[in-house]
Structure formats: C-alpha cells, structure tokens
Amino acid sequence: MEGLRGPSDYSQEPTRHPSLRINAKTPFNAEATRDDLIASYITPVDFFFKRNHGPIPIVDDINSYYVSVGGLLENPKQLSLADIKKLPKYNVTATLQCAGNRRTEMSKTRTVRGVGWDVAAVSNAIWGGAKLADVLELVGISNHTAVTPSGGKHVEFISVDNCVEEHGGPYKASIALDQATNPAADVLLAYEMNGEVINRDHGYPLRVVVPGVIGARSVKWLDRIDIIEEECQGFFMQKDYKMFPPTVDWDNIIWSTRKPQMDFPVQSAICSFKDEDVVKQGKVTIAGYAVSGGGRGIERVDISVDGGKTWLEAHRFQKTDVPYVSGDTSSDKWAWVFFKADVEISGDAEIIAKAVDSSANVQPESIGAIWNLRGILNTSWHHIRLQVA
Ligand code: MTE
C-alpha cells in the first residue's frame, strides 16, 4: 500500500460542513438535514452522507499510489492512477444508499444495534471513472465472465482503513465476477465525484461504485483488487449487512445462514417535513425521494393524507421538472427520483409515502414485518404526522 495510508487515530480528519447531522464522531458518520437532501437532485459533495468504519486514509504521495490486481490471476498487475485514467472515462449518475438508512425509525419499534440514521443515509452523485469491466479486461479477464480458468468467481476490493470490526484490519467487500465484468452493470473505479477530484471523505484517490447495490459494497480508498473463488470473508460481508427475519435475535443468530445483502429494495421518504411539524390549514407540498436497487426504476409514488385510507399519485422527476418515466432511456437508470404532491390539509393529518418500482415491488406497510436485529433496510411506508396550527 505505497502512497496510501490508513491512520490509526482521528487526529487528521477532513473538515466537514457544519450543517451536517452527526450520528457518530469517531468513526465519522453524518447525513444532511432533510431540507438539504432534497434541495438538489445531484447531492453536493458537502451534503453527501458520510459512512465510515475507521479514520479517513491519507495519500502521502499520489505518484507512488497504485492498485494491485491479483488473487487468482495468472499475471498480477499494479495499476497507477494514470493507468486507470488512460481507460475510457464514464460519468455515471448513481444513488448510494447505506443499508442502515432509516434505522432510527426501526429501532423505535424494537431495539436494533447500529448507528442511528434518519432518512438521509442516501445521496446521489455523478461518479467519474473507469469501468471495472475495462480494468479487468486490461488484466486479462474478458467481459461477461462468470468464472476464470483458475476458478475465480468473485472480485474482492480491499482498502487500507483501520476498522474496529476487522480488529484494525482494512475494510473489504466483494461482488460476483459476472457483475464486475458486465459493462452494462456500470461498476466504476471512480476518481471524480460531481466533476471534481473525489475528496478524502468519499474515497480519494479511488473508490469502487457499485450502482443499485447497498453502499457497503462500494469500497473507498481502494488498495487491492483480488480475484477470488468464494465471496469475501471479511466482517462486513459475513457478520454484518445481512437481512435476517424478525425471529432472529442476538441469542440465536447464525450468520452463515444468510447471504450478504447486495441490491437494495424499493425505498422512499418524505423530506419536506419532520414528524409532528406544525403547518397552516390549506395547501402543503409533500416532497421527497424514491429509489430502487438493481437498476429498477420508480414506477409510482403514492401519497396518502389520511393514514392510508385514500391515495393520490405524486409527480416524479429527476432533472429539474422533467417528468420522469420509468424505463425511459434518457433517465438516470441508477439514480433516485424526486417526488412532489400538493395536498390540502384541513386538520391534523397522517401523511404516508410509498413507492412502487418497475418490477411492481412495493414498500412494505409495517416495520414489524421487516424488523431485523441490525436494523438494516428499513423500507417501510414513510409516515409523517402533521399538526394544524
Ligand atoms: N469503504 C471503506 N474503505 N471503509 C468504509 O468504512 N463504508 C461503506 C462503503 N465503503 C466504507 C467503505 C459503507 S457501509 C457505505 S454505506 C459507503 O461506503 C458510504 O460511502 P460514502 O461515505 O461515500 O457515502
């Protein structure tokens, strides 16, 4: 790991925007306020959620930085940033969502373990970089390969940060070789975010972006890529970020019974209000975001102002006020949509948002049905109680 270093303490953290809501200081975990989150379709870097498991790594010398590509590879290679930048550059607009988004709300139903997040552990950026499929082709693995001659079936990404959960070892994760070598999956090694050099918080000098998949697989501060036979055995693949049923608790959990979570399910949240906000009687605008994993578009966002008795369909858009049509080739396939609905409020109201994706998957009604001990993937209907002044 020449050129890139994972410090063991928090004395050299970057400065961050003062209006972020800090959920944990060390490691630094923070999200935008609801208003800031929906102020712009492309989330400004300052307001993009920050999810870390250790101190932020430092680049000592960018000229001696390289990514080692090895594992079950006949000819292991070391790629400098310049080598990666020589490959065709792609700009992919993709929403990253932490599996812990909306965990605080889930913990109100029944206690869960993990950092508490409101509704903004999700953000949308334009990632600039090389396609992983091209990088793998450069080291001799052709596109659309599910298994290499040496038996490699997964691609592991290894960082340099010191994670408590890894007993001081680095953060790592893997994805299937199939997905990694598919150019249409748009998996990137990104060196830019919103047109600028990616900053330290988000993975400088190079990070993985796996669109449509929980953020945990988008490894930051990339140090090594290994072609491996079995999926990554690291903590965050095997002992975390797995979805268990409500019957499983800490006294009866068997981690190996579940697969690491990859795609995220359909999600939406209202961001124009907080619970118990006081409004004037009359017209109010309900606004927020909706997103689904695996490249599935958002087919519909339904809004209720009477606790789910009746529903109306919200207006959806990506770029400012261009109506969004799921599956339209001009839409950003991997990105969230914003929604808006003007509704009349005559008295205290229970507002609900629920989204439907292009495969007709619908957000679950109750948290109870999807409660899980780590509090991941709270995608239940989003409720806001408004009081009339
Ligand atoms: N990569 C490294 N090296 N270390 C980390 O702690 N956190 C992961 C992922 N990649 C993490 C990492 C998790 S859980 C998420 S949700 C995303 O990064 C968050 O990316 P962001 O901080 O750029 O929003």
Please answer whether residues 360 and 299 qualify as being in contact, where contact means their C-beta atoms are separated by less than 8 angstroms.
yes
Please tell me whether residues 134 and 232 are part of one structural domain.
yes
- Whether 159 and 285 map to the same domain: the answer is no
pLDDT for 1: 63
Last residue in a domain, options 206, 235, 257: 257
Average pLDDT, consecutive stretches of 10 residues, N- to C-terminus, the chain (389 residues): 90 98 98 98 98 97 97 96 98 98 98 97 98 98 97 98 95 98 98 98 98 98 98 98 97 98 98 96 97 97 98 91 80 96 96 98 98 98 97
CATH number, position 126: 3.90.420.10
Q: CA separation (Å) from 14 to 127, 143, 194, 313, 359?
A: 20, 38, 18, 42, 41
Q: What's the pLDDT at 50? A: 98
Q: How many folded domains does the chain comprise?
A: 2
Statement to judge: residues 245 and 271 lie in one domain:
no
pLDDT at residue number 70: 98
pLDDT tens digits along 99-147: 999 999 999 999 999 999 999 999 999 999 999 999 999 999 999 999 9
pLDDT of residue 65: 97
247 plus 199 within the same structural domain: yes
228 and 325 together in one domain:
no
Which of 229, 257, 285 terminates a domain? The answer is: 257
**Are 274 and 241 within one domain?**
no
Ligand 1: distance of its center to the CA of 214 in Å?
10
Whether omega for the bond prior to residue 44 falls within 30 degrees of 0, making it cis, is no
Q: Are residues 158 and 31 in the same domain?
A: yes
Assign residue 321 the CATH number of its domain: 2.60.40.650
Is the residue at 278 inside a domain?
yes
Contact 134, 84 (CB under 8 A): no
Atom of ligand 1 nearest to the CA of 53: 6
Whether residue 262 is contained in a domain is answered as: no
pTM: 0.98
Cα–Cα distances (Å) from 67 to 118, 307, 309, in that order, read 35, 52, 55
Q: Is residue 325 part of a domain?
A: yes
Identify the DSSP state of 362.
Answer: B
Asked whether 50 lines ligand 1 (CB < 6 A), one says: yes
Which of 230, 257, 284 is where one domain is finished?
Answer: 257
- The pair phi, psi for residue 215, each rounded to 5°, is -55, -25
Same domain, 271 and 230: no
C-alpha 57 to ligand 1 mean position (Å): 12
Same domain, 132 and 240: yes
Substitution site in 5, 31, 46, 51 for ligand 1 pocket (most atoms within 8 Å of beta carbon): 51
Cβ of 4 below 6 Å from ligand 1:
no
Q: Are residues 251 and 306 in the same domain?
A: no
Q: Are residues 115 and 22 in the same domain?
A: yes
Question: 220 and 281 in one domain?
Answer: no
pLDDT for the residue 328: 84
Domain carrying residue 227: 4-257
Q: Is there a domain that residue 283 lies in?
A: yes
